[in-house]
Structure 1
Amino acid sequence: MTRKQRRLALIGSALGVLAVAVGLVLFAMRDTIVFFYGPTEIAQKGIGPGARVRIGGLVKPGSMVREAGQTVQFAITDTATDVAVTYTGLLPDLFREGQGVIAEGTLQPDGSFRAASVLAKHDERYMPREVAAALKKQGVWQGEQPAAASDAKAVTQ
């Protein structure tokens, strides 16, 4: 074997080992990947029960019902479609009707959503990027001028 052939064999085997390692990592992570959807996308794509997903949108006004203990039922909407959500646990302090929210959990056979965690927006200017994109696509959320630009001017002056 010439020197050039040995070098090519070494590079080829290193690439093979790297490909196997990447394949194993992706195979191990397949259950931890969670996709983000809006309520309309869930209805359109026909995602099956038991699928672990994130649903984002606005908490539908008038939909929040507190049950016994820490169980809360509410609906997430993008104004075109609603998804009923059940969550047991403490809600974030800023969680309220009409505000942006992301819930992570599983779809139930009856079409409802069982949330394992709920995230709420943290101030009046913030909207999760995925939620804003889904609402903009529906023509609902127009957004605001970023306050950071006006704050930066005030700091520099």
Structure 2
Amino acid sequence: MTTSLTINGTRHQVDLPDDVPLLWVLRDEIGLTGTKFGCGVAACGACTVQIDGEAVRSCQVTLSDVWGDVTTIEGLGTPDAMATIQQAWVDHQVAQCGYCQSGQIMQAAALLAENPDPTDTEIDDAMQGNLCRCGTYTRIRAAIRAASAKMKEA
């Protein structure tokens, strides 16, 4: 079945079954490999993207369930023009292995869009479903706080 999707502001047509997970549409059909496969059961957050600004696990959202515009890590910013949250990630040296980071950043960006001044508890609650095997949780929280402060300056 042919489905039309808007991903990072660009319209795409895909001819795939309705039950294909969005993750595989993004990676295999569109070629956006920044979104990672982690567990396949929405337990780790590595595949987090946004649909109309809401953080979702793309491994569990099927093609037929996509209800709006999709934003991936590639649509958030670029190496030459990083989003505030991405720059905070760099400034706080959050990434170690880096595998979970695109999902972490997409979850954090959704949090800051909804709550521009979160407390540490609100950060921890919002980020609890995004796992980091390297254990950079304190740096993740610091980067989110720094991005929040920077966004208030603008």
Scaled by the length of structure 2, the TM-score of the pair is 0.24
Specify which structure has the higher proportion of strand. Answer: 1
Scaled by the length of structure 1, the TM-score of the pair is 0.24
Report which of the two structures shows the higher radius of gyration computed on alpha carbons.
1
